[in-house]
Structure 1
Amino acid sequence: MFGQLNKVSLRDIWPHEASDFTPWLAENIEELGKALGMDLELTEQEASVGDFSLDILAKDLGSSKAVIIENQLTQTDHDHLGKLLTYAAGFNASTVIWVSEAIREEHRQALDWLNQRTDSETSFFGVVVEVIQIDNSKPAFNFKLIASPNEWQKNKKRQTQRNSISTKGEKYQNYFQALIDILRHSHKFTSAKAGQPQNWYSFSSGISGIAYGANFAQGGKARAELYIDLRDHDKNKYVFDELEKDKLSIEAALGETISWERLNDKRASRLALYTDGSIDDSDSELETVKMWHIEKLLKIKSILGKKIVPLSKQANKL
């Protein structure tokens, strides 16, 4: 009645850690983010820290803070623990992720201890990657979270630090918390779980350097956007210009006019939609803005999501 579940050796899938597993993990960083409840975006592979080289440097789109990822095809060891702390300091990382075939108990305890002793803005994760198959089916991977911040303790620390967050910052945090919860639960739009005390929130598009965004802009305006920053001025302008060539059909599909913001004096560009809205609005007014953000973000993704994939590939060839 049931098939037999088998674990596949990681070496059978990825013979070499540096040349096989690390590139694969970089390409599937969104899946790793889902296991952690984050929207992760790749920044760099083999990022230099003095004489050492970090496997993967990423960014948490929700906070724009650095994330470091060190991976192993074997069980965890002391050498990689030392490297992990070195890289965390070198990149001033807020999130530290250790991915391996197995996590030794003493290393799990070390990660738990670090989570207990560090501030509420620093998190350590231990993740086991496993490959499984049923009978002779195609193998499937799975990320299993083994060590993570104790949310009760982290939340307790946040309460003691609440006074350091302005009243407006707390309003932003509450607004975006509600927004991402609906986008995650009802629309599978994001993996993010934590709102931030800031006037913007970015969401993964699946392409490193291009993100969807919800913002409160100056002048009492709320904005939903496609933000283009491939970390190169010419590449960004290429993607923007190619999209603008299709302006009529994009706006027809969207059902409204887009603000085409090339931002010539800046590296990045964006396509934006605006409505009236301020974080100081009443609760009922903010509820209207939140529903507007959700509607527009879903439309932007639906209409532009497929267009940006080939354009980003072409841009990276420039």
Structure 2
Amino acid sequence: MPTIALGKLEQVEPRSLWPLEAVDFTPWLAENLDALGEALGIDLEKTRVEAPVGSFACDIEARDTNSNRRVIVENQLSETDHRHLGQLITYAAGLDAGVIVWIASRVREEHREAIDFLNRHTNDNLDFFLVTLEVIRISGSLPAVVFNLTASPNAWAKTASLPSQKLTSERTLAYQEFYQGLMDELREKHRFTNARAAQPQSWYAFSSGTSGITYNASFASGRRLRAELYIDVGEIAPNKSIFDNLKSQETQIESALGERLLWERLDGKRACRISAIRENTTIIDAAAQGDEIREWLVQHLLQFKAVFGPLLKAATTTIPAPALPSVST
């Protein structure tokens, strides 16, 4: 029988990589939220580091791009303690968060039970996660980070707790079923998203990796299905600047995609969007043409990421600086 060479799994002390939580680990985590999002089943988009809450500061504030809920992350490179649990609840209240994430290198059973208790006794708009941080390597290899989900919302395995909007009609149920299939295919086959639980709404936003810009799928009015790049970084002028930068490359972009797009600057509104349109398509059609419609969206979202993705960094660097207030002398 041939000999099989196997490596030895080794635990690495997290502080050997990040000596200080605030100075070393928090900035690293803020730039690697995809890894945390994959463990949680959420697409995370960073908003702020050290977000102020009164005289305190939350480690990381982010956004769930699918539900648009505010996410807060509190981390510690030590065993869970009462102080961090209190901070977590304080930050959740101060920032009106919908998703609360507590990361620690070791988890006390009492604190796991506390997070389970909060998930059982809070409403469907509020989800608590407790994550154990582990760093491993095999026989001296480079270290790898593992986020182990230790406590999560009760129904998170497949259909995470829904927001306050309930399933009130066949149409909303159809949206949820359609987007669940789309989401699963994009996640499992293409690693396009971390999202795991579809919700009963007519649109879905997927992270582009650039804050304020998403790849959207939307059943729009007029029997139209859209695959789109949606631009909303929070202010009108930057949105229009990003749009104009991309519009100046319209010929090259449409050539790469192989089709004409609908370019909507939406003057008078804050956001902008660039869309591929499938006409005469509603969610009702998904019952008979679900596979075909889903494949159309999958291909267009992947193409949008391939073509627009490399252009977004340059487009966002053209954002004009805000005008300084005039000073009278």
Same fold per superposition (TM over 0.5): yes
* 1:123 maps onto 2:127 in alignment: yes
Deviations 1:264-311 (A, max 9, x none): 222322211111222233611444332221121111111111221333
Q: Secondary structure at the match of 1:55?
A: strand
Paired residues for 1:1-318 under 5 Å: 1-151=5-155, 165-276=168-279, 277-281=281-285, 283-313=287-317, 315=319
Q: Specify the structure having the higher radius of gyration (Cα).
A: 2
Equivalent pairs, count: 316
Partner amino acid, structure 1, of 2:186: L
Query: In structure 1, what is the Cα distance between the partners aligned to 2:159 and 2:298?
Result: 27
Q: Which structure has greater helix proportion?
A: 1
Query: In structure 2, what is the Cα distance between the partners aligned to 1:316 and 1:32?
Result: 32
Once the two structures are overlaid, the 10-residue window that deviates more, 261-270 or 243-252, is 261-270
* Unaligned residue ranges in structure 1 (runs of 5+): none
The percentage of counterpart residues that share the same residue type is: 47
Report the CA distance between 1:256 and its aligned residue. 0.4
Contact 1:68 1:88 in 2 (8 A): yes
Q: Secondary structure at the match of 1:64?
A: coil
Q: Secondary structure at the match of 1:70?
A: strand
Once the two structures are overlaid, the 10-residue window that deviates more, 104-113 or 7-16, is 7-16
| Distance change in 2, residues 1:269/1:125 (3 Å) | same
Report the CA distance between 1:157 and its aligned residue. 8.1
Contact 1:116 1:153 in 2 (8 A): no
Deviations 1:182-240 (A, max 9, x none): 21122221111111111110111122221111011111111111112222333322222
Deviations 1:65-112 (A, max 9, x none): 111111111111101101111222223322111011111111011111
Q: Secondary structure at the match of 1:101?
A: strand
Contact 2:166 2:200 in 1 (8 A): no
Report the CA distance between 1:125 and its aligned residue. 0.8
Q: Secondary structure at the match of 1:18?
A: helix
Q: Secondary structure at the match of 1:187?
A: coil
Query: In structure 1, what is the Cα distance between the partners aligned to 2:35 and 2:320?
Result: 23
TM-score (norm 2): 0.88
Contact 2:153 2:161 in 1 (8 A): no
Contact 1:59 1:65 in 2 (8 A): yes
For the aligned residue pairs, the C-alpha RMSD in angstroms reads 2.5
* Unaligned residue ranges in structure 2 (runs of 5+): 323-329
Q: Secondary structure at the match of 2:233?
A: coil
Deviations 1:96-136 (A, max 9, x none): 11011111111011111112222333221111122222333
Contact 2:183 2:195 in 1 (8 A): yes
Once the two structures are overlaid, the 10-residue window that deviates more, 220-229 or 10-19, is 10-19
Query: In structure 2, what is the Cα distance between the partners aligned to 1:164 and 1:252?
Result: 41
Q: Secondary structure at the match of 1:73?
A: strand
